[in-house]
Chain A
Amino acid sequence: MSLGDLPCVDFVELATEYLEGALSVEQRLVMERHLAFCAPCVDYMEQMRATIAATGTLREEDVPEPVVEPLMAAFRALTNGRS
């Protein structure tokens, strides 16, 4: 097996398909063989995972609190008398 099956420049473009489980069994094996031989691409995948983790901690501080009361009034009016 040579790494020539899949150069790193192509590997990186398949990273999300790989993480999403969207590749065929054959493509998946090619990716995994590449990872077994290519430390920089292992690091690239770790960067992707760290990126996803960092994105997952974003808070929505810039979005103001919802203005609930007018909505509650509308909800009450439209579902009036049911409960």
Chain B
Amino acid sequence: MLALLRAGDENAFRGLVGRYDRAMRRLALSFVASASVADEVVQETWLAVIQGLDGFEGRSSLKTWMFQILVNRARSRGAREQRTTPMSSLMALDASVEEGPTVDPDRFLPAGHPVAGYWALTPNRFFELPEERLLAEETSRVVAEAIARLPSRQQQVIGLRDVDGWEAEEVCASLGISAANQRVLLHRARAAVRAELEEYFAAEVVNA
């Protein structure tokens, strides 16, 4: 692939854009305030990729290298935006959902109970619903809305891992985060989506 790109193979480059442009724009949008700024960042990234092809040393995969360029640019654009906009209420929200339990503590038996910490209200079995219900368009909307409400760092990780199907190592390298941090963000994101789905399907399933 790299050799084709360096040789100026247009189909190879077209394929690359087709494959990654949307993921790039979604990721960029989690760093900056508007779709138009995200588009600009992605455009700049593609130009930087074209210009950098000869200098790319192949120490990471082409994909990881491209997304590192994107993340660096999007991050500095986002930081510049934040210096010019007042601290939003969104920031306060971020802090509160990045720590503490990921399952409502009221779901478990309280301290002092002989089996404290065990389920009081057990998880429902929404996963037993037929696949066409679990993977229906309406379910997708519930998932998409749940992800949209997550803090940006969690959105980035669940987007790359579970929407785009990336490996953990690729996500760590592209976002510049540790393996442990990646897992924490992924866990919080998945747990939040899980809670939304459980509630969404609650009327359709019998609790065990």
**A binding-site residues for B, Cβ under 8 Å:** 3, 7-10, 12-13, 15-17, 20, 22, 38-41, 43-44, 46-60, 63, 66, 68, 70-72, 74-76, 78-83
Contact of B193 among A10, A55, A80, A82 (CB under 8 A): A55
The answer to whether A76 touches B46, judged by C-beta atoms less than 8 angstroms apart, is: no
- Give Cα A7–Cα B187 distance, bound, in whole angstroms: 18
| Sampled A-B contacts (25; CB under 8 Å) | A3-B115, A7-B117, A9-B103, A9-B108, A12-B103, A13-B101, A13-B103, A16-B186, A16-B190, A22-B183, A39-B122, A43-B124, A46-B127, A48-B194, A51-B197, A55-B190, A58-B140, A58-B143, A58-B163, A66-B17, A71-B17, A72-B14, A76-B8, A80-B8, A81-B8
The answer to whether B26 touches A60, judged by C-beta atoms less than 8 angstroms apart, is: yes
Closest A-chain residue to B18, C-beta based?
A66
**B binding-site residues for A, Cβ under 8 Å:** 5-10, 13-14, 17-18, 21-23, 25-26, 43, 46-47, 50-51, 53, 101-103, 105, 108, 115-119, 122-127, 134-135, 139-140, 143-144, 147, 158, 162-163, 165, 168, 179-180, 183, 186-187, 190-191, 193-194, 197-198, 208
Contact of A66 among B10, B21, B140, B194 (CB under 8 A): B21
The answer to whether A55 touches B162, judged by C-beta atoms less than 8 angstroms apart, is: yes
